[in-house]
């Protein structure tokens, strides 16, 4: 018997550790998104790759709105919507990763990331955010259960 086996009637991402992790991630996204729109706009510009064919300030504003929306969704969604929110947050963290890579490779300072070591540690934290979003919402477990159900009936 595995310890992460689903219990009948328990919604994805509803254990207390998952709830706390999801609330912390949601609050962090709300804070960061607010920073994109207010006090931290200049700092966030350091993370916009110069090769992106969109006005950098627009990228900062758009990602701030996305972070606020994801933060609220992490705090408020239930059931299958929570699972979809987890996937959306994970995809968002993947989408912004090229900006973090550009900040590292081009040595641009922002948010106290003023050394290659600090920027490198920031890069290593990105997969943690993806895993955090998927685990805290139950998205990873829902995907595994879906795959297991499909293979049980001979699907792919």
What's the rounded mean pLDDT across residues 123-141?
Answer: 95
Contact 34, 69 (CB under 8 A): no
Instruction: Determine contact, residues 87/134, Cβ cutoff 8 Å.
Output: yes
Paired tokens of 51: 């090769």
- The answer on pLDDT for 99 being more than 60 is yes
pLDDT digits over 44-72, tens only?
Answer: 888 898 889 999 999 999 999 999 999 99
Global pTM?
0.85
HSE-CB for 89 with a 13 A CA cutoff: 38
Q: Using CA atoms in the order 156, 129, 53, 51, what is the torsion angle rounded to 10 degrees?
A: -110
């Amino acid at each position: 018997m595995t310890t992460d086996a689903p219990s009948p009637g328990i919604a994805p991402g509803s254990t207390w550790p998952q709830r706390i992790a999801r609330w912390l991630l949601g609050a962090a996204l709300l804070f960061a998104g607010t920073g994109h729109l207010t006090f931290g706009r200049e700092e966030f510009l350091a993370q916009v790759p110069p090769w992106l064919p969109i006005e950098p300030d627009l990228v900062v504003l758009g990602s701030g709105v996305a972070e606020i929306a994801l933060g609220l969704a992490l705090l408020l969604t239930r059931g299958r919507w929570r699972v979809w929110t987890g996937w959306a947050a994970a995809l968002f963290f993947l989408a912004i990763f090229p900006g973090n890579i550009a900040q590292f490779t081009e040595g641009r300072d922002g948010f106290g990331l003023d050394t290659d070591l600090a920027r490198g540690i920031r890069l290593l934290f990105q997969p943690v955010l993806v895993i955090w979003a998927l685990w805290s919402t139950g998205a990873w477990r829902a995907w595994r259960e879906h795959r297991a159900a499909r293979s049980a009936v001979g699907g792919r």
